[in-house]
Amino acid sequence: MLRVCRPKLMIEGYTQLLGHFGYTVTDLFARIPSDVYDIKFMEEGVDREWRTYEPSLEAGITNPLIILAFPREPVGPRA
């Protein structure tokens, strides 16, 4: 659905609760297709500016975070 509909996303992630449902912060980021979205995030109490997401940046995040994901412009011929 994210690849087809390409909505803008704002996700508030409570990292303390992810484990209760069997997920990690890495799992959360992995669900957002990084080839379709530009992803930025802020960790509560740590960041004062948005960080651009890159794999492995989520390691060690334990505070709640906000994720913004904006669809990139489609590549290739338009219909």
Q: Domain span at residue 66? A: 11-71
pLDDT of 44-76, one tens digit each?
999 999 999 999 998 889 999 999 999 998 766
Global confidence as pTM: 0.85
Give domain status of residue 4, yes or no: no
Six token digits for residue 28: 């959360």
What are the strands of the beta sheet with 9-13, ordered from one edge?
Answer: 9-13, 65-71, 37-43, 51-52
Number of domains within the chain: 1
pLDDT of 8-54, one tens digit each?
999 999 998 998 999 999 999 999 999 999 999 999 999 999 999 99
Give domain status of residue 79, yes or no: no
Give domain status of residue 54, yes or no: yes
Block residue for tokens 């669809």 = 71
